[in-house]
């Protein structure tokens, strides 16, 4: 069965594909779709944004869609960058741009106050059946300089609580096990298994 993943982020798509393909899904991202509606992220929460990506695609394509909206929440910045994580340094910001801005905003903030969390909202929307949503969260701390060559986004700056490694220092299997996205995915796993078997 085909499952559309409503993201243009190659890193997110790669991680979700690693989790979905063992369930038997053919996974397509937004870049694989020749004709699709414009998707807007204007919500005040990760869940609102995930829904706003899922349902226009379901209505346009008539197929199940899994939508992800996720980001970094930094306590010392009042929850920023939050839902604006991907465009923190501007609408065309790169990961490097966003990381530079984050470090600049946290300049002089001591380690004990650099607590943060990655948050992921997933919405599985199925034509005629409705939706199932889940949220995952992983706690950590923002370092003063990047570490690790894996991952994407803020991963090189995010020291995962209890592991002593940044998200960019984790192998894919470990990252999928402990990450916000992996935690949200596991909450949806029973429904995804049923969908893959065609019993929904």
Domain ranges of the chain: 2-197
2-197 — its CATH code? 3.90.950.10
Average pLDDT over residues 16-37: 90
- The Cα 167–Cα 95 span in angstroms is 14
User: To the nearest whole percent, how much of the chain has pLDDT over 90?
Assistant: 88
Is residue 193 within 8 Å of 174, Cβ to Cβ? no
- For residue 192, what pLDDT is reported? 95
- The Cα 5–Cα 113 span in angstroms is 35
Residue 37's pLDDT band (cuts 50, 70, 90):
confident
> pTM, whole model, 2 decimals?
0.93
Please give the positions annotated as active site.
69
User: Measured between alpha carbons, how far is residue 141 from residues 24, 195, 199 in Å?
Assistant: 36, 36, 42
- The Cα 91–Cα 89 span in angstroms is 7
- The Cα 124–Cα 70 span in angstroms is 15
- For residue 40, what pLDDT is reported? 79
Average pLDDT over residues 36-60: 89
Largest CA distance in the chain: 55
103-139 pLDDT, tens per residue? 999 999 999 999 999 999 999 999 999 999 999 999 9
Question: Which of these ranges, 26-40, 78-92, 134-148, has the smallest mean pLDDT?
Answer: 26-40
């Amino acid at each position: 069965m085909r499952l559309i993943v409503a993201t243009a982020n190659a890193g997110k798509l790669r991680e979700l594909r690693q989790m979905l393909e063992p369930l038997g899904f053919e996974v397509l991202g937004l870049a694989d779709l020749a004709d699709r509606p414009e998707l807007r992220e204007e919500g005040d929460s990760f869940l609102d944004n995930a829904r706003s990506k899922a349902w226009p695609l379901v209505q346009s394509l008539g197929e199940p869609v899994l939508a992800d909206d996720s980001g970094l929440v930094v306590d010392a910045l009042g929850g920023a960058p939050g839902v604006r994580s991907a465009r923190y340094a501007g609408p065309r910001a790169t990961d490097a741009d966003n990381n530079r801005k984050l470090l600049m905003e946290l300049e002089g903030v001591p380690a004990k106050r650099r607590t943060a969390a990655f948050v992921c909202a997933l919405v599985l929307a199925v034509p005629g059946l409705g939706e199932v949503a889940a949220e995952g969260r992983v706690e950590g701390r923002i370092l003063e300089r990047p570490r690790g060559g894996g991952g994407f986004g803020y991963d090189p700056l995010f020291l995962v609580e209890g592991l002593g490694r940044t998200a960019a220092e984790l192998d894919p299997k470990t990252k999928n096990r402990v990450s916000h996205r992996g935690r949200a995915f596991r909450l949806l796993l029973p429904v995804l298994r049923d969908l893959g078997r065609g019993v929904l």
